[in-house]
Structure 1
């Protein structure tokens, strides 16, 4: 455990992006802080390890980072000065179709729109306002419910964003437009018939045009390492290999911020939470889980459409109708033949990931929460539909089912990497119905994980807002950020 002889203004438990965001925000204000991590290494969902063969570096969880540059918190940090650099693919994302032309998300919004033919204006009407006004939108969307700074802009966005992705898909006439939309919306890990599923598609497309989808050089661990270096430069302290089960064993502190899920809060000793608050936490709902595969490959993936090799991310699910049906069935607890697969090929753009001439592959599909079914064959069969001969390039593979995903990072309950389903009932009212969801019933304890607004993703905004709330409550003279 940490040195109990020292005293801190604030302790932060969990070194994922939100834990670092909370710790950095507090340390920037001159507080004495300690960041505590249970695992032997920092990073949470930002870790890179040799999971298959020597020389192959695989991102254990997050891989491509659409929100890295779009996050107001990350954008405010001098991370480049602390070793972080990004590379970019020619195409941010590709969506191949069987018997049809591939759809591509390109940095240039007009090239993307024009490639969709008759859907050009539909695409621009939907996505161009997000791309053009993202900084203003981010202030009103990447945080808790509040009176908006830009009410008209937010209303224009929200009218569309709150709709089911299936509803807005009806505006697209081409298979490419509908498929591109489906692949983006499915990042939300819920049926496309759910309200609010249009929001994530609009954001991912909009920020893709604004900032691209960055690939961290050296792996996702590079983000964590840069955050740690900057945090330490401010005087912050980090303690790893320290699982916290009882907060009474921690050093003396004034406030405690937990980058943890409701499930973990309920199991932690010494928090002194009220019974009513604990009942609210117990009603928190998890979303679908994931099954993940990493591959060491002898050569680039042999996509039928060779242009897909120039995309950082490839969405594999074929048509809108196929993706929508399979996501719905998965949410109902079924295992589908051809699951929607998110595939990344970082080594095509960052040669440090694999030995010369060889490559890495990274993919996951959605599964029922807590499922222990082995979906490697289903994922590889889905890839083979669009890249015949893929299996022949495999030298080695490593898999993780939902239990193993949760064991790796307890925040991923049942394999749920979004920290709880982000449907209309839990988009902003997470983990409880409150305008200040970062507060718990103990006025010295705050929750700073993706179980708070704005939810899952490598952006740090949950931890940033939790820290701002704690500063306002306990250090109002410092709460100027």
Structure 2
């Protein structure tokens, strides 16, 4: 259901539909697209039931906690080891090769937290895959590029609407019709003249982010998907973002004591899985979800290569700070490895893949 239709059915005034649309635009879906109502409803529901929590000390604390848990259970992490090939034999993943030629044997499984095109085309290779799968990957659609800016402010945001002063997350920039226009510009490959902003007041949510009386503010906005962006286009759009903030909080620019811009190329450089600055591992559109994610097939973490599992946001249920694709891949790998049921599991998955990819 599109957000606009859901909002019309559930609410009399403009506030409810605008809230749902803003939540849906955390993805790359417009208020008119099928499925946008589901995402808008889901995020609004989560916000109402549990809030939109942030980890004390910053998002790095989530990674730190996961690393600590892994190490407590005997796991180890090798940093700076670039995998350039998944090693396969007789249709099974045997391990990986890292740049420089070092081979790493996998005793149980290989879980790949990389985008689907990178796993299948770069790490496995088309020759080891069903031809139909390779053909379908040509139609894989990325979500939009992203531009994120962090500001250090010398004082709290001078919002015209003082109710925003206590909000950890703010949707800023347009009403429902404006959001439809904004999404249309993105669909046409244009830079929106009036960008919609997702804003985080981190010092409001977690006072440890900055000294008392100051504010640590961030915002990100969607851009059309492109692999290459001109520096002047990114800089110009930062100015548009600041125009939106200045209009809602006059005097905002005078408070800026520091600014960090992360354009699409910067995001991809920091994490090669963020191709073109995308965050979702592929579009959230209905035609690339559930059993259609990342391409038409089973919609599972399993791949046509036995003991190789897709653990990234390109797998169901997609992007977000929830770890679900990795958890699904881990459960599938454990099910495949069980002594009593593993062979039956592998046979069932292989049969299903042969039905989808006959060659």
Superposition TM-score tier, normalisation by shorter sequence = 0.7 to 0.9
Residue 454 (structure 1) aligns with: 317
Shift of 1:283: 2.4
Task: Verify the 8 A CA contact 1:256 1:446 in the aligned structure 2.
Answer: yes
Residue 233 (structure 1) aligns with: 72
What whole-Å deviation, never above 9, does each CA across 1:254-273 have from its counterpart, x for those lacking one? Answer: 31110010232122267943
Alignment of 1:396 with 2:251, yes or no, is: no
Task: Verify the 8 A CA contact 1:262 1:282 in the aligned structure 2.
Answer: no
Residue 44 (structure 2) aligns with: 205
What whole-Å deviation, never above 9, does each CA across 1:222-243 have from its counterpart, x for those lacking one? Answer: 1111111111111111111222
For normalisation by structure 1, the TM-score amounts to: 0.63
Compute the RMSD of aligned alpha carbons: 1.8
Task: Verify the 8 A CA contact 2:160 2:248 in the aligned structure 1.
Answer: yes
Q: Supply the distance in 2 between the matched residues of 1:252 and 1:222 (Cα, whole angstroms).
A: 31
SS at 2:312 equivalent: coil
SS at 1:362 equivalent: strand
Deviates more, 1:342-351 or 1:273-282: 273-282
What whole-Å deviation, never above 9, does each CA across 1:310-348 have from its counterpart, x for those lacking one? Answer: 001000023111112111211221112211100001112
Task: Verify the 8 A CA contact 1:341 1:363 in the aligned structure 2.
Answer: yes
Show the 5 A alignment for 1:72-151. none
Task: Verify the 8 A CA contact 1:369 1:402 in the aligned structure 2.
Answer: no
Structure richer in helix, relative to its length? 2
Task: Verify the 8 A CA contact 1:195 1:424 in the aligned structure 2.
Answer: yes
SS at 1:251 equivalent: strand
Task: Verify the 8 A CA contact 2:307 2:336 in the aligned structure 1.
Answer: no
Higher relative contact order, chain-length normalized (CA < 8 Å, sep 6+): 1
Shift of 1:175: 2.3
Shift of 1:477: 4.6
Residue 173 (structure 1) aligns with: 12
For normalisation by structure 2, the TM-score amounts to: 0.84
Q: Supply the distance in 1 between the matched residues of 2:152 and 2:124 (Cα, whole angstroms).
A: 42
SS at 1:184 equivalent: helix
Q: Supply the distance in 1 between the matched residues of 2:209 and 2:304 (Cα, whole angstroms).
A: 45
Q: Supply the distance in 1 between the matched residues of 2:186 and 2:246 (Cα, whole angstroms).
A: 21
Q: Name structure 1 gaps, 5 residues minimum.
A: 1-162
Task: Verify the 8 A CA contact 2:284 2:318 in the aligned structure 1.
Answer: yes
Task: Verify the 8 A CA contact 2:293 2:299 in the aligned structure 1.
Answer: no
Alignment of 1:260 with 2:114, yes or no, is: yes
Residue 358 (structure 1) aligns with: 214
Alignment of 1:381 with 2:263, yes or no, is: no
SS at 1:189 equivalent: coil
Alignment of 1:471 with 2:310, yes or no, is: no
Shift of 1:204: 0.8
Deviates more, 1:347-356 or 1:360-369: 347-356
What whole-Å deviation, never above 9, does each CA across 1:69-126 have from its counterpart, x for those lacking one? Answer: xxxxxxxxxxxxxxxxxxxxxxxxxxxxxxxxxxxxxxxxxxxxxxxxxxxxxxxxxx
Residue 285 (structure 2) aligns with: 423
Residue 354 (structure 2) aligns with: none
Q: Supply the distance in 2 between the matched residues of 1:475 and 1:340 (Cα, whole angstroms).
A: 48
SS at 2:12 equivalent: coil
Which of 222, 247, 265 is the aligned partner of 2:61? 222
